[in-house]
Structure 1
Amino acid sequence: MSQIELNEKKIQILNVAERLFSEKGFEGTSIRDISKEAKINIAMVSYYFGSKERLLESLIIYKTSDLKLKLENLLQENIEPLDKVNKLIEIYITRISCNKGIFRVLHFEINSKNREKSMAAFTELKKGNLKSVESIIKQGQEKGVFRKDVIIPLITPTIIGTFFHFHMNKSFFVELLNLNTEEMYNNYIKTSLTKHIQQTIKALLVYEN
């Protein structure tokens, strides 16, 4: 299932499902909970998505497929390899920040044997995204800017892992860094955390002077 036809009601259901799955977990949320919260008849939710697993699959595609498009577009941009990687990091951090709910769901569900079918769609998307990341880094390697011994599949986990460690320990960092409002916290992610990740990835990619 690579594309889903969406209408207003389906989007409403998906947004409610994302919030409930992230708050109560996949197992702790029923189709009845979703239909009640979305104020849509339970039969209509089942008609649109068939099952809770299919709903999760649709939610994953809905929330992550635009990242694929952004990476493919970035690949075509005529800019320096390091600028391209910095933009790549900005894209990832922006997407995760805007979709914390679905990434929280994925974090908890990714290793569940019961969810393998739903996760298959996400795995395919990740493979496509990795190809874009590989192409961007290989462009830099061909120009002699990036090291040849980079372990490319570990670049994305380094970006996402750093973000999630920060986000999962939000209260600790809020106190430590005096990020007293949500705006200050989100701004810190956009500026300081993003810059730190860019510097980390640059250190992995670029030859030492």
Structure 2
Amino acid sequence: MSYEKTKALKTEFTEKQIQILEVAETLFAEKGFDGTSIRDISKQAKINIAMVSYYFGSKERLLQSLIVYRTSDIKKQLENLIEEDLEPIEKVNKLIEIYINRINNNKGIYRILHFELSSKKREQNLVAFTEFRKGNLKYLESIIEEGQRKGVFRKDVIIPLITPTILGTFFHFHMNKTYFENLLNLTTETLYNNYIKTNLTKHIQQTIKALLIYEN
């Protein structure tokens, strides 16, 4: 799919389209993109198979629409963050909170993306996500460059590596969920999610701060 066609994807969806997208997300996460058919989606959503094709055209375009649906609100949050009257490090901390909260509450789409991005044959169908990541990087660059201009952040920061540092820490924690639940005595799902929201997020903020701030 070309970038022009990706830009043409809708960013607002009807109630019926959202129902289809959420069913598709569940099935893609459980069975994989290749293991899920349009028929599976229509059956689970309890709608005629022709309606899925009518709304989205193809399974690949449905995946693109799902990515747009699940990521468009982050773009708005980051746009608002850039305009806030905060110091650069406060913006970085808030950006980390936005990332971790968004991913932890939407693990399905990121599980799908993890597997699809590892498939070379699918790269061309993930233009929407590539553009999303490039856009997010520009917001991060804006914040860090502001801190550099103010003499607060180091000049030798490799900005494109900041995001994988944030996400890599989260995904390592999540992929080893049982280990950390036992190690940290997180006996309920609520305790586990609260730990991510507080302790893990703070740890990541401290790690990124150490990368950005000049040593005393």
In 2, Cα distance between the equivalents of 1:95 and 1:182?
Answer: 17
Count of residues in Structure 1 that have an aligned counterpart in Structure 2: 209
> Which residue in 2 is equivalent to 1:54?
61
Q: Provide the residue aligned with 1:118 in structure 2.
A: 125
Quote the residue 2:199 is aligned against.
192
- Aligned residue number for residue 69 of structure 1: 76
Residue equivalent to 1:138: 145
The residue aligned with 1:10 is 17
What stretches of structure 2 of length at least 5 have no aligned partner? 1-5
Alignment of 1:24-63 (within 5 A): 24-63=31-70
Deviations 1:128-180 (A, max 9, x none): 11000000000111111100000000001111111001111111111111111
1:44-95 CA deviation, whole Å, 9 max, x = no partner? 0111111111110100111012111211111111111111110010000011
Deviation track 1:15-62 (CA, whole Å, cap 9, x = no partner) reads: 111111111111111111111111111110111111111110100111
CA distance in 2, matches of 1:18, 1:146: 39
- C-alpha deviation, 1:114, in angstroms: 2.5
Q: Which amino acid aligns with 1:18?
A: E
Task: Measure, in 2, the Cα distance between the counterparts of 1:113 and 1:52.
Answer: 17
* Counterpart check, 1:163 vs 2:170: yes
C-alpha deviation, 1:116, in angstroms: 2.4
**Do the aligned partners of 2:21 and 2:66 also contact (CA within 8 Å) in 1?**
yes
CA RMSD of aligned residues (A): 1.0
TM-score (norm 2): 0.94
Gaps of 5+ in 1: none
Give the distance between the partners of 1:115 and 1:54, measured in 2 at CA: 12
Q: Are 1:53 and 1:115, in contact at CA under 8 Å, matched by a contact in 2?
A: no
Q: Is the 8 A contact 2:116 2:123 kept in 1?
A: no
Question: How high is the TM-score relative to the length of structure 1?
Answer: 0.97
Kindly indicate whether the alpha-carbon contact (under 8 Å) linking 2:89 and 2:209 is maintained by their aligned counterparts in 1.
yes
